[in-house]
C-alpha cells in the first residue's frame, strides 16, 4: 500500500469536494480547482475525509495511487491557504517594478524585461523580491521557474534571479600568473 495514498485527506470547514467521472472539483474560500481522476483509482468522500483507493495491485495502479491523493490534498490546501514562491534578484543595476499581473525588470539586458502572469496568479514586488502566489501549486511553481529562467544565477558572482534561500555553488575566478 502506498504510504502517501493510504492517508485520508481531511476536508476543512468551508471546502466542498465533488467527485465526477472525469474530474474531482474542490471549491473553497479562495476559489475552485479541478483535479483529473486517474484511471486506476477510486475516490470517495466520507464525512469530512477523502479516501483514495486503487483498483488492483498492478505497478501502474500503485504509481497513480499516491499521486491522486497528493493532487487532491494540494487542491484542498490551495483553496484554503493558497501557495506562494519567493524569488530574489541580486546584481548591481538590476531593478524591479510593477505588481498584480505584470512586472518589469531591468536585468542587465539592453531592454527591460516584462513578464505577464497567467490567470489565477498574482505577482507582488517587495524591494528586490518577487512574490508569486495563487491557488494552483503547479501554476505557482511554473511561473516562478519561468521568471527565474529569465536570468539564472551565474556561478562566479551569483548575479541573477534565485529562489529565496537557494544556495548557489560558486566557482573560483581566473587564477593569477606566477
User: What's the pLDDT tens digit per position in 135-165?
Assistant: 999 999 999 999 999 999 999 998 999 999 9
Residue 121: per-residue pLDDT:
95
DSSP state of 79: H
Residue 113 CA: distances (Å) to CA of 42, 96, 122: 46, 10, 18
* Residue of 94, 90, 105, 109 lying closest to 156 (CA atoms): 90
At residue 106, does pLDDT exceed 90? yes
Q: Are both 98 and 36 inside the same structural domain?
A: no
The chain-wide mean pLDDT, for the chain, equals 92
Q: For residues 75 and 99, state if they share a domain.
A: no
Q: Are 11 and 60 in contact (CB under 8 A)?
A: no
Residue 71: CATH number of its domain = 3.90.930.12
All three cell numbers of 21: 467521472
Confidence grade of residue 1 (pLDDT, cut at 50, 70, 90):
low
Answer yes or no: is pLDDT of 27 > 90.
yes
User: Which residues form the domain of 35?
Assistant: 9-80
Mapped onto helix, strand or coil, the DSSP state of residue 172 is coil
142 strand-pairing partners: none
Q: Are residues 50 and 94 in the same domain?
A: no
**What are the grid coordinates assigned to 112, written together?**
527591460
Shared domain check, 63 and 102? no
- Alpha carbons 169 and 16: distance in angstroms, whole number: 45
* Grid cell of 160 as nine digits: 541573477
Last residue of a domain, one of 30, 58, 80: 80
> For the whole model, what pTM was predicted?
0.89
Inter-helix orientation angle 137-149/59-80, to 10°: 90
Same domain, 17 and 65: yes
Among residues 54, 80, 106, the one where a domain terminates is 80
Is 170 a member of any domain? no
Give the CA count within 13 Å in the CB-facing half-sphere of 61: 11
Domain for residue 55, yes or no?
Answer: yes
Domain end point (choices 21, 47, 80)? 80
User: What are 36-75's pLDDT values in tens digits?
Assistant: 998 889 999 998 999 999 999 898 888 899 999 999 999 9
Do the domain assignments include residue 150? yes
Q: Average pLDDT in the 76-92 region?
A: 95
Question: Domain for residue 129, yes or no?
Answer: yes
Residues 90 and 53 in one domain: no
Residue 169 lies in a domain: no
| Number of domain units in the chain | 2
Domain assignment of residue 175, yes or no: no
Amino acid at each position: 500500500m502506498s504510504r502517501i495514498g493510504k492517508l485520508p485527506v481531511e476536508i476543512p470547514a468551508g471546502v466542498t469536494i465533488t467527485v465526477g467521472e472525469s474530474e474531482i472539483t474542490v471549491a473553497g474560500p479562495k476559489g475552485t480547482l479541478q483535479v483529473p481522476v486517474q484511471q486506476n483509482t477510486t475516490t470517495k468522500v466520507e464525512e469530512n475525509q477523502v479516501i483514495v483507493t486503487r483498483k488492483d495491485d498492478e505497478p501502474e495502479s500503485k504509481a497513480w495511487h499516491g499521486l491522486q491523493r497528493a493532487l487532491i490534498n494540494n487542491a484542498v490546501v490551495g483553496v484554503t491557504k493558497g501557495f506562494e514562491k519567493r524569488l530574489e534578484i541580486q546584481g548591481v543595476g538590476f531593478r524591479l517594478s510593477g505588481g498584480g499581473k505584470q512586472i518589469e525588470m531591468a536585468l542587465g539586458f539592453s531592454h527591460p524585461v516584462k513578464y505577464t502572469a497567467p490567470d489565477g496568479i498574482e505577482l507582488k514586488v517587495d524591494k528586490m523580491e518577487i512574490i508569486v502566489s495563487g491557488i494552483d501549486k503547479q501554476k505557482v511553481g511554473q511561473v516562478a521557474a519561468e521568471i527565474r529562467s529569465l536570468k539564472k544565477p551565474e556561478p562566479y558572482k551569483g548575479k541573477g534571479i534565485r529562489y529565496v534561500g537557494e544556495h548557489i555553488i560558486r566557482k573560483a575566478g581566473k587564477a593569477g600568473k606566477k
